[in-house]
Homo-oligomer: A and B are copies of this chain.
Amino acid sequence: MGTSLRDVARLAGVSVKTVSNVVNGYAHVSPATRAKVEGALSQLDYRPNLSARNLRQGRTGMIALALPELDAPYFAELSRFVIDAAAEHRWLVIIEQTGGSLERERRILDGVRDHQVDGLILSPVAVGAEELAARTDDTALVLLGERIYDGPADHVAIDNVRAARDVTEHLIGLGRRRIAALGAQDDTASGTAPLRLAGYRQALAAHGLPETIVKVDRYQRAEGAAAMAGLLAAAEPPDAVFCFNDLLALGAMRTVLAAGLRVPEDVALAGLDDIEDGRYSTPTLTTIAPDKNQLARIAVALLKQRIDGSTARPPEEFTAGHRLIPRESTVGRAPSGG
């Protein structure tokens, strides 16, 4: 292997303990001894063996972030914030992709101990609250961004019902009356789809407007494009569509524009996530911006508390902020040079 504490101790003429003290910044070391040790340390280019340290301390300095897929822009952006927040606690982040499959989520939940991470941040899609409650692995766990209320673990998310209501109210306020929801789902134990659907329905009900609900399997551009084609083919197409995430909205936008229709004049479109794509599309995309940095920071801070574990408090729900960002896809374009 490399050089060990023993090699350094031998060269410096001190004990292993003393070298360890210097390496770990223990205060009470005489200046002369410290100098000797530091000389040996740099002469041998000593690097601590973290596996050994971990074995001794029962900590690994790593956490896992498990999410459906890294190449969905929302999760890529969120991951970046999580990695940055974790770095402040000197944690490295292992990323695992679940593909939203129940089996993979289960395996990760059950296998965190194997991976020897100090904690897990999971963005669940398939696994349900009762299953989480039955978990035997006691590794620190924080749920990020999906439903599972009253679950057995700390949980951070935006207020999805409220966010969906906000967007829908925005569309109603612009005079739209045939407003479709694109992104409902069967079969998900913990997804946000039911919450977003609930918010949509609340807003429509308050104004006595009819519902049009379209389901998808996955929150991807291709599905948004296909579902939108279905809506356009209807006898009375919608004049606005609230898509449950930005990818669906961008896919839908493609379909509308490719059909020669105008956004928002013929169909207004809104999404949710505020991924960067929507800030540069033409038209730009109206959306709900979750405070991703806040989501990440809260998740990491909660995990930190659980890992340090001095206070064994009951699981808590945290709500991160969100705000509506009206853009061209609903309010139209500013006059331009064209």
Contact = CB atoms under 8 A, between A and B. Distances in A.
Contacts of A47: 113-114
Nearest to A336: B260
30 contacts: A1-B58, A48-B114, A51-B54, A51-B60, A51-B116, A52-B55, A62-B94, A69-B80, A70-B70, A70-B76, A70-B79, A70-B83, A71-B73, A71-B77, A71-B79, A76-B76, A83-B95, A92-B94, A92-B96, A93-B95, A95-B95, A225-B280, A251-B280, A254-B281, A254-B282, A257-B282, A259-B336, A260-B338, A281-B281, A282-B282
A265 to B, nearest CB: 12
A31 interface: no
A225 B80 CA distance: 23
A97 interface: yes
Contacts of A284: 254
A251 B280 CA distance: 6
Contacts of A277: 250, 277
A338 B50 contact: no
B114 A97 contact: no
Given A49-B55, A70-B83, A93-B94, 14 more contacts: A1-B58, A54-B54, A71-B73, A79-B95, A92-B115, A94-B95, A221-B279, A250-B280, A253-B280, A257-B282, A258-B333, A259-B336, A260-B337, A261-B338
A333 B267 CA distance: 21
A94 B80 CA distance: 13
A4 to B, nearest CB: 11
Contacts of A84: 97
A173 to B, nearest CB: 25
Interface string A84-117: 1000000011111100000000000000011110
B338 A113 contact: no
Contact of A2 (B50, B73, B113, B221): B113
Contact of A259 (B54, B250, B337): B337
A291 B179 CA distance: 41
A136 interface: yes
Number of copies: 2
B280 A114 contact: no
Contacts of A93: 94-95
A97 B83 contact: yes
B259 A116 contact: no
A285 to B, nearest CB: 12
Contacts of A45: 136
A317 interface: no
Interface in A130-159: 136
List the 9 closest pairs (A to B, CB-CB), nearest first: A260-B338, A76-B76, A51-B54, A50-B116, A51-B55, A257-B282, A254-B280, A71-B77, A47-B113
Given A259-B338, A281-B281, A337-B260, A51 B51 contact: yes
Contacts of A97: 80, 83-84
Contacts of A254: 280-282, 284
